[in-house]
Every structure is written in structure tokens, then in C-alpha cells.
Amino acid sequence: MPTPTARSAHAVRLEFGQGSLVRSNLSGAAFTGDWLWVAGDEACGLDRLRRLPPVGNETLRFGEVRDFPLGELLDLPGPAGKEADLEGLDCVDGMLWVVGSHGLKRKNAKAGRSHEENAKRLAKVSLDPNRLLLACLPLEDDAQGQPCLVRQAQDGRRALRLKGDGHGNELTRLLAADPHVGPYMAIPGKDNGLDIEGLAVDGRRLLLGLRGPVLRGWSAVLEIAVEVRGDHLRLAPLDEAGTLLRKHFLQLDGLGVRDLHFSGDDLFILAGPTMVLDGEIRVYKWPAARLLLASHTEPVRFETGLTGAVPLPHGEGMDRAEALCDVPRALSGGQPQWLVLYDAPGPDRREGEHAVFGDLLLHD
């Protein structure tokens, strides 16, 4: 598959409702036909937007937003409505998968506070329980034929999350014993600590892209498998030897993973700075990754055969590309292209109080 080389700027309009928590902190996206699902890292729900006739020279327009609070679909690790720091979405076989960052957060210094107050704030580290979320949610059409997220579908599919509580889950307990990731779990995500930001699903196998930690310039994609047992998802062996975790270290020029997406057998990786920095944001391609992962048996491998490194725009404190997803061919006029959405959209990516703009990334 060709490497993406061209960007159609501000080609996609997203229209949100008043007071939307997602509009200015988009972090994940996935399509189901004419419908776009998006997540934000300051919300505890998913927004569904419908394809609408485009405006002016814009290519695509989505609106008529509906919010699906996760507290109505799942028994969450923490209080319903409490921020989940949702970072990755993927839609496979009628299920929408979602993952939270799983990382700690640190309070920031604030203007107008005394030095002593800000010093205390900067020393305060905490974990929002809902960040410990890895879940699958059934999609089912309602009476109007519109796709909805439901707790249980008529065919028996259920909304399930990885077994755990507000202190940890099966994944964090597994990672705590890992020599590469474990030492970084006590460090906040934005300080190069554990921070899951990418999700790609391939059957029962899940790939989790880490924004941090980045180790001597090597970024990590974690490979796990899950299965349904009782009322939860549980970690499952990846092979007959009982392997529960494989690690793939990628050479992304020191950048961390911001999103993952399969297109055919290739894996596309959105990468950006691991810490709170304004810097390069790029899209890489891992050719034939799906086939390689299916045949790979070693617990750790290093991958240097990535291609592309297509740069995306970024600003000072704004326009940080956070979400990448394949556009259905029926919406793209048959052209292979991706939708790119931005956290902290700058003035030229906003219109009024409700609309923001994303880009289309085209193939050769």
C-alpha cells in the first residue's frame, strides 16, 4: 500500500453541541459507515456524529452529535462521569473498543498562585480510576437505523471491561513486573511515565501504543490478547507457551505513539512528543505488520523497518494531532485516505462555539 504523502487541510468539519467536553481535546476516532465516533481525554463518554452535506469547499461534514456516557454502558472502575482520559478507539466486528491512558497525572502550576502553592501542586500526583479502562462496547442499530452503543445487544454481545478496580487491573499488574515499563508506572504520563494512547484490534489480539515511556529513543507497542470470562474481559495467552505480553520497540526518532491504525496488513502509527512539548508530529507505516505479528513468537523485538515519516502541522500549545483513522471508501470517493483530528485546536481550526476542523491525509 502506498505511503501517505499529501494532506488536504481543514477538509473535515465536526459540529459539536454546546458545552462539549470533546470538541477541544479530541484523542480518538473510528468510523462505522456514515457515522463518526470520537473520544476526548477530558470526558467519560463517546460522541457519535452523523455525516451531513458538506459546507463550501470542505470535503466532509459531521454533526447531529449524540453523547453516550460510559457510566450507562459499563460498571466503571471509578465514579460515573469522572474523567477517563480516553485515548484510543477501534471498531471491529460490531464492537467499539476503547482504552484509557492507564497513567498517573500531575497537577500543574497556575498563574496567580504563590510559589509555595504551586510547589505543592507540582508535587501532587494522582490516578483517576476511570483511566484504568480497556473495554469493548456493542454497536446495535436503533428503530431509526442509527448505530448506538448498548450495554447488551439482542444477539447477546455485552459491554465488557478488563477485570480490575480503581487501583489497578490485570494489565497494570502485568506491567508492574515488566523490566521496561514497570519502573515508569509511578511516573505521570506527561513526564515520560506510562501513557497508553494508541489502540488497534486484530481479532482477540490488541496492540497498545505507548506515548511513554520512550527508552533511549525507542517507543513501545504492547501486544496482549483478551477473552471473555464471566462478566469481564480477561488477559489470555498469546501462544501455547502462555505468553501474556509481547513488546515491540519501534524506532520513531524519539517520538511516542499517539495513535495506531491498521489498513490492510500495514500498521500506521501517529507519533509525537512524549512530554508536554511542541514538536514534530509524524505518521509512520509499519509494512505487513499484521502478518509479522501473527507469526512472531519472541517476547521482545526491535523494529527499524518503518517507512513514511510524513510530517503533520503543529502549533505552539495547540494543533496537536491525536487521532488517526481510515476513512470508509464510500465517504472518500474511493480514494484511500485518513482522517486526522487535533487536540487543542487553534483559531484556524475552530469556527464559532461548536465547530472544529480536521484534515485528510491522502495516499499516493
Per-residue model confidence (pLDDT) at position 363:
59
Question: What pLDDT sits at residue 353?
Answer: 86
DSSP 129: G
Give me the percent of the chain exceeding a pLDDT of 90. Answer: 80
- Model pLDDT for residues 37-58, shown as the tens digit of each residue: 999 888 899 999 999 999 888 9
User: What is the secondary structure of 117-155 as a DSSP string?
Assistant: HHHHHHH-EE--GGGS-EEEEEEEE-TTS-EEE-SB-TT
Domain interval for residue 248? 4-363
Kindly indicate the confidence band of residue 5, based on its pLDDT and cuts at 50, 70 and 90: low
Cα gap 209→239, rounded to integer Å: 21
Q: What is the pLDDT of residue 81?
A: 79
- Locate 11 and state its grid cell: 477538509
341 to 60, 69, 363: CA distances (angstroms): 13, 21, 17
User: Does residue 35 carry a pLDDT above 60?
Assistant: yes
The arithmetic mean of pLDDT across residues 116-122, rounded, is: 97
The pLDDT score that the predictor gives to residue 251 is: 95
Mean pLDDT over residues 289-297, rounded? Answer: 91
pLDDT at 3 over 70: no
Q: CB of 301 within 8 A of CB of 327?
A: no
Tell me the pLDDT tens digit for each residue of 186-195: 999 999 999 9
CA–CA separation, 217 and 47 (whole Å): 35
Number of domains in the chain: 1
pLDDT tens sequence across 198-257: 999 999 999 999 999 999 999 999 999 999 999 999 999 999 999 999 999 999 999 999
The pLDDT of 314-343, averaged and rounded, is: 91
Give the model's pLDDT for residue 310. 87
Query: Residue 363, class by beta-carbon neighbours within 10 Å (0-12 exposed, 13-18 middle, 19+ buried)?
Result: middle
What pLDDT, on the 0 to 100 scale, is given for residue 43?
83
Which cell numbers in the block locate residue 25? 481535546
Contact in structure between 91 and 32 (CB atoms under 8 Å): yes
Which tens digits make up the pLDDT trace of 62-84? 999 999 999 999 999 999 878 88
pLDDT at 1: 38
Q: Write the CATH number for 9.
A: 2.115.10
